[in-house]
Structure 1
């Protein structure tokens, strides 16, 4: 869904929520790579949230693991992050 200059991964129309989904296998990464992923993802997620909110949408982030969620929340507790069930 293209909104405010950004192509988001999904739109949940019933709740007017834009989603960004991260498919990293964060749990398997060594500490240095985990840090790199966080430094790369966090400012992008914060920017994407601002774009979504500016257009009246909520914003959620989907991740594959509780460890990835915890690491992101340790950097920014205001993010709305959901561990997604990957079948």
Structure 2
């Protein structure tokens, strides 16, 4: 490839996850400093859900982040319903 590429700069920005100072050492992160989630947006901490570009979901695009946010909200809602049913 000839010419100048912004790929390295974009990759570096991606590694500098702005959520990391907020979560400290509470949540599991992957090697890219992203919050590790499962297919239901669950994190390593019970009752904590995450979505969007700060997570381990590939393809950092608005449409994907939007879908992941909707999924996280639905899973969190069901989690809360389950908690209230157990009370």
TM-score (norm 1): 0.34
Higher relative contact order (CA closer than 8 Å, sequence separation 6+) = 1
Q: Which has the higher strand share?
A: 1
